[in-house]
Each structure stands twice: as structure tokens, then as C-alpha cells.
Amino acid sequence: MNMEKETVQLFFDAFGDINRFNILLLLLKKPLNVGSIAKLTALEQSNVSHHMKCLTNCGFVNVRQIGKEHIYTIEPAAARIVKNIASHMDRYETHLQACGIIAKDSRKR
């Protein structure tokens, strides 16, 4: 499997944003519009719209229009990825907290 470094970085940047990941977790439960996502995440609607544009452009989320409302659903392959990541969080949490390198690297960004 030959992966371009830039593609790998973009993929993890998309999933690595905590707000986008939380939105994807919400969409696992049910389809939502921007207003509902904003309420559930306590994010500004404009911020949610920006994240939804990213997630849609990346192909992780589908959107359908019903009247004036845009309803977002998680794409099935993305749903499997999110479920898989979420299922491993408990297992790796202690190790991630103790790593010491990740926290230093994230401060550099």
C-alpha cells in the first residue's frame, strides 16, 4: 500500500480535530442539521457550518436538502472508522496520557 505523506496528514487532520470527531460521533446516532449540531456541541453555527463543509468535502459526511434545511449523515465507511477509533480510546487512554511526546508535538502546532 503506497500512501502519499500529504494524504495521510490530511486524513488525520480531518479526523484529529476534536470538534469534527465529536460531530461524527453525534452523526453515528442520527442525522442532524447544523442548528442541532451547534446545540449539542455548544459551538457557534458558523463554526459548525465550517466543520460540515470540511467533512462533506472530505467525503466523510453526506448532506441532503429537505426544503431549506440541510440534513447531514455520516458516510458508512467513515462510520466504521469512527466506531473503531472510539472503541479503542479506553484501551489507549493511559498510554496516550503518559506518552510525553504527543503533548510536546501538539504544542508546536
The 10s digit of each residue's pLDDT in 64-89 is 999 999 999 999 999 999 999 998 88
Separation CA 64–CA 62 (nearest Å): 7
CATH number of the domain bearing residue 78: 1.10.10.10
The 10s digit of each residue's pLDDT in 2-36 is 678 899 999 999 988 999 999 999 999 999 999 99
Q: If you write DSSP's letter for every residue of the chain in order, what string do you get?
A: ----HHHHHHHHHHHHSHHHHHHHHHHHH--B-HHHHHHHHT--HHHHHHHHHHHHHTTSEEEEEETTEEEEEE-HHHHHHHHHHHHHHHHHHHHHHH-SHHHHHHHH-
Q: What's the total number of domains in the chain?
A: 1
Position 37 scores a pLDDT of 98
Q: In which domain, by residue range, is 57 found?
A: 5-108
